[in-house]
Amino acid sequence: MIPYPRINPVILKIGPLQVRWYGMMYLLGFLSGYLLLKRVARDRGVEITGRQLEGLLEAVVLGVVLGGRLGYVLFYNLPYYLQHPLEILAFWHGGMSFHGGLLGTTVAGYIYCRKAGMDFWKMADSVVIVVPIGLGLGRLGNFINGELYGRVTSLPWGMVFPGAGPFPRHPSQIYEFLLEGVVLFTILWSLRKRPWPDGSLLALFLVFYGVFRIFVECFRQPDPQLGFVVDHITMGQVLSLGMVLVGLIVFVIRRSGRVSLS
C-alpha cells in the first residue's frame, strides 16, 4: 500500500477568499491550452487571429462550465435537483460532468465558428489536441481533493483516501491522468500533421477518450447517489460508449466527405 499524500486542497486563504488546487488546475489547463493552440494551428496550417483565438477560448470556457454543470445535473443527480432547483446554480458545491462539458464546448465552439466565419472541423481538430492537457490537470485536482477515487483493491499501489473508509483503493484519478491526459495528448500530438480529412482528429479524440474512460471506470468507484446503472455498468461507461460510437461515425463520414458544418 502507498500512503495517500495529504496535500491541502487550499493553496491560499485570505479571509473568506480561497484559492484551491482544483480551480488552479482548471486555470492552468485553459492557459496552457490557449498558448499551445497557437502552435497547433500553425502546424496544421489553420489561420486564426489573436482576436479569434480569444473569442474561441471564451466560448470554450462558457461551454465547459455550463455544459459540465448541466450534464452533472441531468446524468448524475437529476432527482435531487428536481427537488432543489436553485442548487443547480450552486457551482461552488461541486458537481461537473466531463461528457456534459464536452457537449457544451462543442455547441459553443460551433456557434462561435459560424459567427466568426471559421471552419468548425479545422478548429475542432486543433482544439482537441490540447484538451488532454486540461483533462490531465483536472484529474490531478481530483486526486488532491481526495475525490473520484477507485474501488477497493489489494494491489500494492492502493491508497486509503480520506473519507473513503479504511481499505486501500485504486488511485483511479492517476489512471485517468495518465490515460486521458498523457497518453491521449501524445497520440493526438503525434498525429497533428497527418493530411487526413478535417474532423478526423476530433473523431479519434472521441474514440480514444471513450475507450480509456470505459476502461478506467472498471476501477473507479461509482457516484454514491447513482451507483451502477445496469449490473456493473456505470453511467460514465454508458456515456463513453456513446462517445466511441459517435467518434467512429464522424470518422467514417468525414473520410467520405458527406457532411459539412462550416
Cβ-based neighbours of 150, under 8 Å, separated by 6 or more: 169, 170, 171, 172, 175, 219, 220, 221
pLDDT tens for 212-243 read 999 999 999 998 888 898 888 999 999 999 99
Residue with cell 459567427: 115
Strands 10-14 and 17-20, bridge-based pairing: antiparallel
CA angle 250/256/258 to nearest 5° reads 75
Can you give 90-152 as a three-state secondary structure string?
CHHHCCCCHHHHHHHHHHHHHHHHHHHCCCHHHHHHHHHHHHHHHHHHHHHHHHHHCCCCECE
Question: Grid coordinates in use for 4?
Answer: 495517500
The tens place of each residue's pLDDT in the chain, 262 residues long, gives 899 998 888 888 887 777 888 888 888 988 888 889 888 988 888 888 888 988 998 998 899 989 999 999 998 888 888 888 888 887 766 678 899 999 999 999 999 999 999 999 999 999 999 999 999 999 999 999 898 999 999 999 999 999 899 999 999 999 999 999 999 999 999 999 888 999 999 999 999 999 999 999 999 999 888 889 888 899 999 999 999 999 999 999 988 765 555 5
C-beta of residue 118 within 8 angstroms of C-beta of residue 80: no
C-beta of residue 200 within 8 angstroms of C-beta of residue 129: no
Rounded to the nearest 10 degrees, what angle do helices 235-256 and 98-116 cross at?
30
